[in-house]
Structure 1
Amino acid sequence: MTESSPLPGMIEPELLVATCRADGQILSRNDAWIRILGEDDGIWDRLTESDQKIAEQNFREACQGSLVTHALFMAIRPDRDLPAPVLLHFIPVTSSSDRTSGGGGLVAITGEILAEPDSWTENQTDRHRMATLGRMTMGITHDFNNLLGGILGHITIMETDGVLARSPAELTEHISTIKKAANDGASLIEKIQRYIRQEKKAVFEPVNIATLIHDCVILTKPYWYNEPRRHGIQIEVQYDAPDHIAVLGSGPELRDVFVNLILNAVQAMPEGGQINISAETDNKNMHISFRDNGTGMTEDVRTRIFEPLFTTKTGRGTGMGLSVALGVIQEHDGSISVTSEWHKGTEFKIVLPLQLDFPVSVVKENDPAERTSASILLVDDEEMVRNMMSRLLTLRGHQVTSCESAAEALLQLEDKSFDVILSDQGMPGMNGREFAENVRGRFGNIPFVLVTGDTNIDVDTQLISRVVSKPFKIEELDFVIHELT
């Protein structure tokens, strides 16, 4: 991986660095650390009282070998009236023998202050904040992908084990809604990652509008059914759409638009009412209508409704929902319009082009009788993710050996041969890329799959056979395994 220089005009923040023993002895602190967090005997003395406890906990976790990143603290500074935000990473510098013997090794703590110097210009400050937001977002997306992967993985286990088939229909419906919400969350994270990596939008897929409308009605049911009834208000939702007709687009993005329109309609009916959703087609387009008999809008509001930051929800709205909806529909080569009459109701009309002869790209599902069992070495430091993946792969007929670190996995490789290795990227001690280098140098060309939630995925294809992004569908991962074995 090559290093690149910062873009012209970019502000590079000072790096805070300290090194400590597991017993708390401070070995070193650089000048930037001393300026921001001081050189007192207690390394956390400059943090607020509540943050001192959290920092101590993060430090203990790092002493046990866990990598703790993007921890945000508030530092008390003599030169400022208010505490300044500091972003820290706790990096264990330990060996497996250290942890086994209880020695704990060392912990390196790095970070940066997120407050900007008073001497900076407004332009410098804005650039620094955007760069900082990008770095924080990359770390958050990794953690969030792991959480979504756990949710989706356990739902898949329930489906595979037949738990849902034996469950009441109402529970199955709730689980299905949770699964759709988690998948949408994963798609949103993927969109953020593509933006950070400056990639183009994902290829659109066929979206069944009837199914999408049904999903949105179920997803919003707590808002139009449960909550209003607690206050003696009745809202009815009726919908109708031709089945087996699709548009080419992004299901999660269109779902966001539809959900936003339903919630807007609910908020426009404080005394109850009815929402009607319908869809019909002509030879070229799908016409979708969201109509309510709520309070309606004045002409002035109607003409401004798609403007960014314009909102009629004082203290409750951001004014971005409908402007984002407009952008999504335009991205789908469609249009959205609104008609409204004060005290009578509102109707939003969406027009999307039909795609009658669209190419369908799917992952081929292997017939159970045709599947071959593979011996898999699975490496991930997150226990929840590791256990979930192990169980899913076992249900697919594979033999799985799980390890929580690359060092432990290398010991397994000395005693046993494997058909394929599945490894996380961000692990303490030795990350996925370093693990792949060790495997290739010591054990030859074992297929190596990096399964990661990281945003920046820059790999050497000579070392790593495939990259699978978290959260994944087990069918996709299984397909990759069968291709490599």
Structure 2
Amino acid sequence: MTLQRKLYLLAGTVVLAMLVLAASLHAGMSQGSRIRVSALQSTERRHALLWLDAAHEHYLKEKALAASARTERGPAEREALRSFEEARVQLADVLRAQAREPASPEAVLDTGLVARILEVSPELRGEELASLIQAALEQEEGRYQALGAEGERSVRIGRIIAVSVPLVFMGVLLAAMGAIFVPLQRQLNALLSGIERLGRGELDAPLPTSASGELGRFAAAVDTMVKNLRQTQAQLVAASRLASVGELAASVAHEVNNPLAFVLSNLRFVREELARPEPLLPEARRELLEAVDDSVRGAERISAVAQDLKAFSRPDAEPEARAPVDVLEVLRNTLRMAEPQLRGRARVVEEYALVPRVHAHAARLGQVFLNLLLNAAQAIAPGRSAENRVTLRTRLVSGGRVAIEVEDTGCGICPSVLPRIFEPFFTTKGKEGTGLGLSVCQGIIQSLNGELTAESTLGKGTLMRVVLPVSPEQEVPASTAWSSLVLSDEESSLSRHVLVIDDEPDMGPAIRRALGPGCHVTSITEPQRALDALCGTASYDAILCDMLMPGMTGMELYAETARRAPGREKRIVFITGGCFSEETLELLRGVSIPVIPKPFDAAGLRDALHRSELSAGGEAAAP
């Protein structure tokens, strides 16, 4: 029921109660008026009867005096008779007048009795007439007393009505107001509570959209607005993240090119040495092994940079999904990305205390730390790095929360500007700044039920402090959760038939070398031909499939395999460089498929193969 209808119902209840009260008062007043009129008429009849009775007694007295004197009717007797007749006429007139407008049917005297009073001759039947008059007086007296009792009863009923009807009216009014305004107040409080949580930055706080009427429509409109705001916030977060990645582009290229230079140089050296026709001497063999080891370390450095950049820049498919996060690990990974920007400007001082995990979103938290580190680097002029420092600090604070601090010895922030640094689009960097960094960071931290504050002294430096709640659960690290599934070299020597589907021709031989001679590897670079082979008569213990291939994606191949050869899709393991679209991420969340990120090592491949066999439930590989 809408609020308008509820108000109409309340108004109708008030009007009905007022009508009942008016009707009760009108009935009481009508009853009192009728009793008053009846009492007046009864008094008028009594007066007429008393006058008639007095005139009759006077006539009888004059008649008795004339009889005792034995004289004929004298003037006194005739005058008394005339007075009696006038009194009788007066009684008749009163009765006729009251008969035309009686106050009540009981208010008129007995017609038979009245007729006899008006007809009996006082001269011939004086005693009979006297008794008739007395009977009429007694009848009228009884009716007058009955009217008095009725009047008293009407007064009592009127008092009761005067007290009870307003009480009933107030009770009905209060009940109607309670039935309307108590649920309304409850819905308003719930809606206000939700809006207050939204005002604190908790955009995932639910609103009571189940409310009816105008409040329901208002809550639905606010909920739609919040959804749009969440989307806009996600876009701002993504834009800020990409801006940070843009600032890191040159540094990332430097970090990749340095190890890549000696990796390529070492590999060319190995190729040239192995191409020589003469056999390798022990010293040359050692030199080759050292070159290979250096190349492996350089490739691992490049892999670490790529993994850090991928973890930071991947889209937040589920920004509300939170989990226990190790802030020290996030800080170290972020520091590796920001270190080229800090190099040449300041020394990095790490003062880490052991702190529990926080309830947060790792990628978003990394975005906040990276933004704070880049701001710290930009606040320090290049050169004199030995005199400047950027301090990273973790510690426990009151309330069982974790504080992460980034402190620099840069130029500091002007006191007049400091209160505005978290405002959207406010920047002190001129055209180089977007004004989104700290605003987005504050939004992220507030969405994690944390706080982001700043302290600064102009010319001495700035301290940025992030305070987050401790996670209620401490999960086992993923690196140990699967340790029991990693196969030993003896276990990997069991003969397996592995199908590799990748448009990169060199990927198949690389996987064959990584798995060793115990596995028979078939490599196919064309997805359609691989699908035909997979759904044909050949048997495979595991299928390693790239996610992004021309002509057919890995997810499309997975779905087509499930349709054409149900059960074989359980042996598919995806290998990918990590470039996921939103559609791919949505599909991966809907199915349980192992995913191996590129680059990978032999242990990771063997682990994935073993998990694939476990998920297939030990089914025979043969069709």
After TM superposition, the score normalised by the length of structure 1 is 0.53
Match of 1:302 in 2: 418
Judged with a 3 Å threshold, the aligned counterparts in structure 2 of structure 1 residues 166 and 380 are, in CA distance, closer, same or farther, namely: closer
Identity of aligned residues (%): 25
State how 1:184-199 maps to structure 2 within 5 Å.
Answer: 184-188=308-312, 190-192=314-316, 194=317, 199=318
Q: CA deviation at 1:439?
A: 4.7
Residue 481 in structure 1 maps to residue 612 in structure 2: yes
**CA displacement, residues 358-411 of structure 1 (integer Å, 9 cap, x when unaligned):** 23363413242466664222223244666666655x269644311112333256
Q: CA deviation at 1:285?
A: 1.3
Choose which of 532, 542, 551 in structure 2 pairs with 1:420. 542
Bigger mean CA offset, 328-337 vs 239-248:
239-248
2:451–2:468 CA contact under 8 A, matched in 1: yes
Judged with a 3 Å threshold, the aligned counterparts in structure 2 of structure 1 residues 415 and 321 are, in CA distance, closer, same or farther, namely: same
1:279–1:287 CA contact under 8 A, matched in 2: yes
1:297–1:340 CA contact under 8 A, matched in 2: yes
Bigger mean CA offset, 375-384 vs 451-460:
451-460
Greater length-normalized contact order (CA 8 Å, ≥ 6 residues apart): 1
Match of 1:447 in 2: 569
Match of 1:311 in 2: 427
Match of 1:281 in 2: 396
1:207–1:248 CA contact under 8 A, matched in 2: no
Bigger mean CA offset, 441-450 vs 329-338:
441-450
SS at match of 2:432: coil
Q: Distance in 2 between matches of 1:437 and 1:213?
A: 39
Q: CA deviation at 1:275?
A: 1.9
Match of 1:108 in 2: none
Match of 2:331 in 1: 213
Match of 1:263 in 2: 374
State how 1:123-162 maps to structure 2 within 5 Å.
Answer: none
Q: Distance in 1 between matches of 2:391 and 2:591?
A: 51
Match of 1:368 in 2: 487
Q: Distance in 1 between matches of 2:291 and 2:395?
A: 34
Judged with a 3 Å threshold, the aligned counterparts in structure 2 of structure 1 residues 206 and 163 are, in CA distance, closer, same or farther, namely: farther
1:286–1:352 CA contact under 8 A, matched in 2: yes
Q: CA deviation at 1:348?
A: 0.8
Choose which of 499, 502, 514 in structure 2 pairs with 1:380. 502
Q: Which amino acid aligns with 1:289?
A: E
Match of 1:223 in 2: 341
Q: CA deviation at 1:303?
A: 1.0
Q: CA deviation at 1:302?
A: 1.0
Q: CA deviation at 1:240?
A: 0.6
Choose which of 500, 505, 525 in structure 2 pairs with 1:404. 525
1:177–1:215 CA contact under 8 A, matched in 2: no
Q: Which amino acid aligns with 2:306?
A: A
**RMSD of the TM alignment (CA)?**
4.3
Q: Distance in 2 between matches of 1:177 and 1:433?
A: 30
State how 1:317-396 maps to structure 2 within 5 Å.
Answer: 317-355=433-471, 357-360=473-476, 362=478, 363-365=481-483, 366-369=485-488, 374-383=496-505, 394=515
Judged with a 3 Å threshold, the aligned counterparts in structure 2 of structure 1 residues 214 and 204 are, in CA distance, closer, same or farther, namely: same
SS at match of 1:315: helix
Judged with a 3 Å threshold, the aligned counterparts in structure 2 of structure 1 residues 308 and 382 are, in CA distance, closer, same or farther, namely: farther
Q: Distance in 1 between matches of 2:441 and 2:517?
A: 40
**CA displacement, residues 414-447 of structure 1 (integer Å, 9 cap, x when unaligned):** 4631123343465445555664576567656323
SS at match of 1:191: coil
Q: Distance in 1 between matches of 2:448 and 2:464?
A: 17
Q: Which amino acid aligns with 1:420?
A: A
Match of 2:188 in 1: none
Q: CA deviation at 1:336?
A: 0.9
Bigger mean CA offset, 359-368 vs 234-243:
359-368
1:292–1:347 CA contact under 8 A, matched in 2: yes
Judged with a 3 Å threshold, the aligned counterparts in structure 2 of structure 1 residues 426 and 264 are, in CA distance, closer, same or farther, namely: closer
Q: CA deviation at 1:288?
A: 2.1
Q: Which amino acid aligns with 1:279?
A: T
Q: Distance in 2 between matches of 1:222 and 1:425?
A: 32
Q: Distance in 2 between matches of 1:380 and 1:326?
A: 43
Q: Distance in 2 between matches of 1:242 and 1:251?
A: 19
Q: Distance in 1 between matches of 2:313 and 2:355?
A: 29
Judged with a 3 Å threshold, the aligned counterparts in structure 2 of structure 1 residues 207 and 274 are, in CA distance, closer, same or farther, namely: same
**CA displacement, residues 149-190 of structure 1 (integer Å, 9 cap, x when unaligned):** xx9xxx9xx9xxx9999449xx95x76664444334433554
Match of 2:77 in 1: none
Unaligned runs of 5+ in 2: 1-231, 240-255, 264-288, 619-623
Q: Which amino acid aligns with 1:205?
A: P
Q: Distance in 2 between matches of 1:289 and 1:270?
A: 21
1:206–1:360 CA contact under 8 A, matched in 2: no
Judged with a 3 Å threshold, the aligned counterparts in structure 2 of structure 1 residues 434 and 278 are, in CA distance, closer, same or farther, namely: closer
Q: Distance in 2 between matches of 1:330 and 1:212?
A: 18
Residue 293 in structure 1 maps to residue 409 in structure 2: yes
1:205–1:360 CA contact under 8 A, matched in 2: no
1:421–1:446 CA contact under 8 A, matched in 2: no
Q: CA deviation at 1:264?
A: 1.2
1:248–1:358 CA contact under 8 A, matched in 2: no
Q: Distance in 1 between matches of 2:596 and 2:507?
A: 10
Q: CA deviation at 1:412?
A: 4.0
Match of 1:86 in 2: none
Q: Distance in 2 between matches of 1:384 and 1:217?
A: 34
1:390–1:402 CA contact under 8 A, matched in 2: no
SS at match of 1:368: coil
Match of 1:95 in 2: none
Q: Which amino acid aligns with 2:612?
A: I
SS at match of 2:311: helix
Judged with a 3 Å threshold, the aligned counterparts in structure 2 of structure 1 residues 301 and 440 are, in CA distance, closer, same or farther, namely: closer
Judged with a 3 Å threshold, the aligned counterparts in structure 2 of structure 1 residues 441 and 349 are, in CA distance, closer, same or farther, namely: closer
Query: Which one has a bigger Cα radius of gyration?
Result: 2
Structure (1/2) with the larger strand percentage: 1
Q: Distance in 2 between matches of 1:460 and 1:348?
A: 37
Q: CA deviation at 1:204?
A: 1.9
Number of residue-to-residue matches in the alignment: 312
Judged with a 3 Å threshold, the aligned counterparts in structure 2 of structure 1 residues 428 and 367 are, in CA distance, closer, same or farther, namely: closer
Q: Distance in 2 between matches of 1:235 and 1:310?
A: 26
